[in-house]
């Protein structure tokens, strides 16, 4: 399997940039990543039920089982950071939890370290994990703002994520 070149969004990616990503060309855990923009919109909607459902579905697509990242994961990370910083988003703590799962994903890398044959056959997966972790770290500049929030659960989630990425 060869990886599709991924267009990464810059450090200040906003939902206006979602259209710049070739989602139809990217893969998530279910197949085409074309539904990811709709899930991001649901998360941003301000409707708590829709947002929570959106995060759950997005988690299944880009960080399945809490540790399996895919091709679309690194491209989605800047949008997760953007949403986590918006006070009107009702599930910011869950978004930070998802970012924490992505930052900790090392399934393929760990298996490849134990069995070099795996690296030859799963280089794409290892690269996606590395790119996803890097994307979480690269956007970690948002942490200080989140640590200053009034929501104690959000602050705790930001602290846990900061411990993992810094």
- How do residues 42-55 score in pLDDT, each as one tens digit? 999 999 999 999 99
Residue 39 within a domain: yes
- pLDDT at residue 3 tops 50: no
The verdict on residue 6 lying in a domain is no
Provide the b/e sequence for 33-50 (b: ≥16 CB within 10 Å): beebbebbebbbeeeeeb
**Residue 123 is assigned to a structural domain of this protein:** yes
pLDDT on residue 44 = 98
Q: Count structural domains, the chain.
A: 1
CA distance from start to end of the chain: 33
Q: How far apart are CA 10 and CA 91, in angstroms?
A: 23
Per the domain annotation, does 71 fall within a domain? yes
Residue 64 has pLDDT above 60, yes or no: yes
pLDDT at 70: 97
**Mean local confidence (pLDDT), 9-29:** 86
Q: Higher model confidence: residue 3 or residue 143?
A: 143
Query: Six-digit token pair at 166?
Result: 């810094």
Q: What global pTM score does this model have?
A: 0.90
Residue 57, Cβ neighbours under 10 Å: how many?
17
Both tokens of 89, joined, read: 């988003």
Q: Domain for residue 3, yes or no?
A: no
For residue 95, is it within any domain? yes
- Indicate whether 47 belongs to any domain: yes
Domain that holds residue 87: 15-165
**Residue 122 confidence (pLDDT):** 66
Q: Is residue 21 part of a domain?
A: yes
């Amino acid at each position: 399997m060869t990886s599709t070149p991924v267009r990464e969004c810059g450090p200040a990616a906003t939902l206006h940039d979602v259209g710049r990503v070739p989602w139809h060309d990217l893969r998530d855990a279910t197949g085409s990543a074309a539904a990811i923009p709709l899930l991001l919109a649901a998360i941003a909607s301000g409707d708590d039920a829709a947002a929570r459902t959106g995060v759950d579905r997005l988690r299944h697509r880009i960080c399945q089982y809490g540790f399996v990242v895919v091709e679309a994961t690194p491209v989605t990370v800047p949008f997760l950071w953007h949403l986590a910083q918006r006070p009107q988003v009702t599930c910011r703590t869950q978004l930070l939890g998802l970012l924490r799962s992505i930052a900790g994903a090392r399934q393929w890398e760990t298996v490849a370290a134990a069995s070099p044959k795996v690296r030859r056959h799963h280089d794409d997966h290892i690269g996606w994990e590395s790119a996803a972790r890097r994307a979480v770290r690269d956007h970690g500049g948002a942490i200080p703002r989140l640590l200053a929030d009034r929501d104690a659960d959000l602050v705790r989630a930001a602290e846990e994520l900061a411990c993992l990425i810094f």
